[in-house]
Amino acid sequence: MSIHKDAISEMQQGNYEKAIELFMKAVEENPDDATGFINIGNIFASLGDAEQAEPFFQKALTLDKNAGTAFYGLANLYYNQERFEEAAKLYEKAMQTGLESADVYFMLGKSIEQAGNDRLALPYLQRAVELSENDHEIALSYGILLAKMELFEQAQPVFEAILQAQPEHADAHYNLGVLFAVSTEDQVRALSHLKQAYTIEPEHTQARYLYDMITIGTEQGE
């Protein structure tokens, strides 16, 4: 275990080559232990080297068919490669091993959404929100999916809850502005949230563009 601890310490300090060297040593000493292979896969994945990471996750799964973190790591690789259906299957397998964190539910939901099945994705994102109530990015994705499905009455309080906790959240302002613009006649609130979005984040060109479009439309309608 001391080798693993030393390797993790090196990894936390950003000494990835040294960490890999130590994990490789651990693998040589315990070739039947999936943990070392998973750790090496995680390092390569964090460095963006999917080609190197994948065989280590796969090796871990040949050693331990219930290695949930190996399923999860491999699923992340496939998600980043836009292999969404394959990723979803692996996230499901990770959950079946008992890995049921908010991140797993979130990534499973996002994979299903990206694969084109919004309705099936929705309960997974909802569960992710329930498991991590203070994660505003998970909540934002859930709210966006609700709005995308035109479930505006359910989406509105999600965005408002984010803003109550984090008033300067530009994307929450933007999406709430869009919601008011497309689902109500309350152009004042729509414009207010859109303006706050691009004021907080000046590079938020979508918010500025929609604000200008609504303003022009309002002026022409007068």
CATH number of 203's domain? 1.25.40.10
Q: Is residue 188 part of a domain?
A: yes
Q: Is residue 1 part of a domain?
A: no
Q: Is residue 195 part of a domain?
A: yes
Q: Is residue 98 part of a domain?
A: no
Q: Is residue 159 part of a domain?
A: yes
* pLDDT of amino acid 166: 97
**Tokens describing residue 104:** 């797993």
135-146 pLDDT, tens digit per residue, is 999 999 999 999
111-129 pLDDT, tens digit per residue, is 999 999 999 999 999 999 9
pTM, full prediction:
0.89
Give the domain extent around 208.
Answer: 151-222
Using alpha carbons, list the distances in angstroms from residue 187 to 24, 174, 177: 60, 13, 9
Q: How many domains does the chain have?
A: 1
Which positions ≥6 away from 133 have C-beta within 8 Å? 139
67: left (phi over 0), alpha (psi -120 to 50) or beta: beta
Q: Is residue 110 part of a domain?
A: no
Q: Is residue 162 part of a domain?
A: yes
Q: Is residue 215 part of a domain?
A: yes
Using alpha carbons, list the distances in angstroms from residue 1 to 23, 27, 114, 134: 11, 11, 39, 34
**Residue 185 has what DSSP assignment?**
S
Region 192-203: mean pLDDT is: 97
